[in-house]
Structure 1
């Protein structure tokens, strides 16, 4: 199945002399491929170390400790059993590793201490089922991707915080001065975290209740009270009022570290809630939030948006003829084709099944239709090997709507979906758009 882009964006490099996973290798690979990553197996230390050293660090590296009993030191110093200490010394120090171990090994605290002090990203115990291992590996891939901007609304003065340094780590502080309009500001900005100083809370203790009782409030958004000095009674009252946490702001450096840790957890939670696991794209939940934010920004800056809905043609026939695993590959290849052509501010979502949604920033209806048609042509040109020496090409149909012709995310979707239906009725493999 030749292609300019790799089929799987992420890889897990595994060092193991014998296959260690409960069940079998082919099933493990099948699960991994559905999550859009591949697994490469190594049974020699030298080859594994060389592959890790050449890698850019975006992949995962898993080591089966049981394999050390059978694996020999193949580094040019004779053939003998490899010791754990030797392996740890040879592993590139600028990467982190996942260690897989038996329950007996897991019960030895000193071994755990040695592992976590040796560039350990995570460790797990065997036996572990394929689907469980793949799900845990996927979560680790999510944790490594921490680029999304996290917005923090701050009510009150917090001295000493380095806003510029936080912004470099993709955490934006947004200062607000009036407690009586904070709920309006939060509704406009949709921050990921809200911080309220103890002095502002003293002015009106209804702040957090007003924020939390709004039926449209984000249920996963945290609101934290910042205290200048420990006050257990105040902290208990704040938690009873609805604050999720109480943080000490006496030490700005400590507070910055806490904010960075919280930002990382927020990114992980947003990815797990808002992204499709098979493709890594936004899902319905993630698209709705991002599209609403983009519409608000377009309204503020007076820019147009083009909103496209596409659907793979005759996808049921693809599944029925070549199997669901092949259908999954078609979906992944389409996601790679679409993602490679999008701008920095554009959005791409796997809306469900074989249906995708694209939102083009600063783009008119006609320009959106042209962009989507170019993507259609690119996908149609991809050769799929459905059997030995048997090549097929597939297509998709699409519909386009535009902001401000349609004002809300729901109106945009309904209009674009109606245009998609028109494209399907018109013979498929085409894009329809109408204001």
Structure 2
């Protein structure tokens, strides 16, 4: 993992703070080299530009060495990446400058002075946010023509068609979509559609339902909103409807993050895990696939906080989250369940394989050097327990069994992974 920066001040201190997060910072003093490095990159990194540096930096524009202007830099930067800009308070007060940055692939901007540790922490959070892109599933009732479904899927929006209004509530229960679109034709045929959906005690409060209108009809729109629809979309123009779906999908992801994700690490929280784990168990039952469910806990975390402070403890948690996340499959789940406790769910994975994968994660985390003081390097560990589906069939049963195995690992000396099957338990450790 590498984050790239273009900044002139405080290099040694920035490197020190970035090292705590396992960042690799690359500094550039020449525009052409920075532009070349960005062009070669696959887009997974962050690119930070200090606007003040433009006043002192020189650029070879083909007619000798001269000071680089902002407009020239914006023209030269690859347009398929986004950038973070650091600026002074004076620059931050200029609206048209902000407009120009935002319109030129600006991921975010920040005003200086900003403490180096705060900057690095915010960059970590931006990096986590860039990795978010949960699939937004949309159930569609009725005929909706002209949508570019392949393009929407590339933008992480999946359309699932359904034709029978009287069974839509059953399909929604199975599918658990984030958004439901109902054509005005289907609503006219069965106006109780949304009332039935929203009275279900298991209805997701974040889920939205929108009416699709072929032509403006204010009376129909008012009635639909009174019946429980959350929005009314115009479907006469497919391109406009696609734009509305992309915009709404972004807001859905933000709402889901606020409710179901941990703000510090970007991982699922307890609420988010419960819903996704239940969905994964349901899918495993349909497909006849096994699951491995793991619970891990950082060893002696209270001692870490008491010895080096809570801010250092937060860094340990964030680096563990990166270690775990980098070793997940596409359908696996990872949650910061609370404090220093994490939960993992491995798709299509046996108990033995789940134990092996968690032990590989344990070894990777143990190998990370943490500099707690100048020249003072420490290593930390975690313990874990694993349970399996279908031996334990509900999310609660899986958690309780895995948590019991975590207790065995702690009692057995920590820094190990324990699993149980058919009354006998096994242990993985160095």
TM-score where L is the length of structure 1: 0.80
Distance apart, 1:173 and its partner CA: 1.4
Aligned residue for 2:59, secondary structure, equals coil
Q: Which moved more, 1:134-143 or 1:410-419?
A: 134-143
Distance apart, 1:241 and its partner CA: 2.3
What's the CA shift string for 1:274-318, capped at 9, x where partnerless?
333443332223222221111010111122212111112212223
Corresponding residue of 1:174: 160
Q: 1:192 to 1:25 in 2, by over 3 A?
A: farther
Distance apart, 1:178 and its partner CA: 2.2
Aligned residue for 1:140, secondary structure, equals helix
What's the CA shift string for 1:194-217, capped at 9, x where partnerless?
001111111232222222233322
Corresponding residue of 1:358: 344
Q: Is the 8 A contact 2:35 2:77 kept in 1?
A: yes
What's the CA shift string for 1:15-34, capped at 9, x where partnerless?
99999999999998898788
Distance apart, 1:224 and its partner CA: 0.6
Distance apart, 1:247 and its partner CA: 0.7
CA distance in 2, matches of 1:70, 1:385: 34
Aligned residue for 1:292, secondary structure, equals helix
Residue 55 of structure 1, aligned match among 36, 41, 50:
41
Aligned residue for 2:172, secondary structure, equals helix
Q: Which moved more, 1:86-95 or 1:194-203?
A: 86-95
Q: Is the 8 A contact 1:349 1:356 kept in 2?
A: yes
CA distance in 2, matches of 1:33, 1:85: 33
Q: Is the 8 A contact 1:35 1:278 kept in 2?
A: no
Aligned residue for 1:19, secondary structure, equals strand
Q: Is the 8 A contact 2:7 2:50 kept in 1?
A: no
Q: Is the 8 A contact 1:226 1:247 kept in 2?
A: yes
Q: 1:198 to 1:51 in 2, by over 3 A?
A: same
CA distance in 1, matches of 2:3, 2:122: 22
Q: Is the 8 A contact 1:36 1:279 kept in 2?
A: no
Q: Is the 8 A contact 1:155 1:179 kept in 2?
A: yes
Q: 1:365 to 1:116 in 2, by over 3 A?
A: closer
Q: 1:204 to 1:270 in 2, by over 3 A?
A: same
Distance apart, 1:408 and its partner CA: 1.6
CA distance in 1, matches of 2:122, 2:325: 25
Q: Is the 8 A contact 2:135 2:158 kept in 1?
A: yes
Q: Is the 8 A contact 2:292 2:386 kept in 1?
A: yes
Q: 1:98 to 1:396 in 2, by over 3 A?
A: closer
Aligned residue for 2:294, secondary structure, equals strand
| Residues 1:430 and 2:416 aligned together | yes
| Residues 1:235 and 2:221 aligned together | yes
Q: Is the 8 A contact 2:5 2:25 kept in 1?
A: no
Corresponding residue of 1:401: 387
What's the CA shift string for 1:300-341, capped at 9, x where partnerless?
112221211111221222333344444334334433433343
CA distance in 2, matches of 1:128, 1:375: 35
What's the CA shift string for 1:389-425, capped at 9, x where partnerless?
6554433222222222222212211221122122222
Q: Which moved more, 1:74-83 or 1:270-279?
A: 74-83
What's the CA shift string for 1:45-74, capped at 9, x where partnerless?
455444434433223333343444455557
Q: 1:36 to 1:351 in 2, by over 3 A?
A: farther
Q: Is the 8 A contact 1:106 1:125 kept in 2?
A: yes
Q: Is the 8 A contact 2:51 2:85 kept in 1?
A: yes
Q: Is the 8 A contact 1:312 1:354 kept in 2?
A: yes
Q: Which moved more, 1:343-352 or 1:244-253?
A: 343-352
* Gapped regions of structure 2 (runs ≥ 5): 421-430
Distance apart, 1:381 and its partner CA: 4.6
Distance apart, 1:230 and its partner CA: 0.6
Q: Is the 8 A contact 2:386 2:418 kept in 1?
A: yes
| Residues 1:339 and 2:325 aligned together | yes
TM-score where L is the length of structure 2: 0.81
Aligned residue for 1:337, secondary structure, equals helix
CA distance in 1, matches of 2:297, 2:160: 39
Higher relative contact order (CA 8 A, sep 6+): 1
Q: Which moved more, 1:44-53 or 1:209-218?
A: 44-53
Distance apart, 1:86 and its partner CA: 3.1
CA distance in 2, matches of 1:111, 1:352: 42
CA distance in 1, matches of 2:283, 2:378: 42
Q: 1:95 to 1:396 in 2, by over 3 A?
A: closer
Distance apart, 1:142 and its partner CA: 5.5
Corresponding residue of 1:200: 186
Distance apart, 1:117 and its partner CA: 4.3
Distance apart, 1:357 and its partner CA: 0.9
Q: Is the 8 A contact 1:346 1:359 kept in 2?
A: yes
Q: 1:276 to 1:342 in 2, by over 3 A?
A: same
Q: Is the 8 A contact 1:247 1:255 kept in 2?
A: yes
Distance apart, 1:113 and its partner CA: 4.9
CA distance in 2, matches of 1:348, 1:50: 35
Distance apart, 1:192 and its partner CA: 0.9
Q: Is the 8 A contact 2:355 2:418 kept in 1?
A: yes
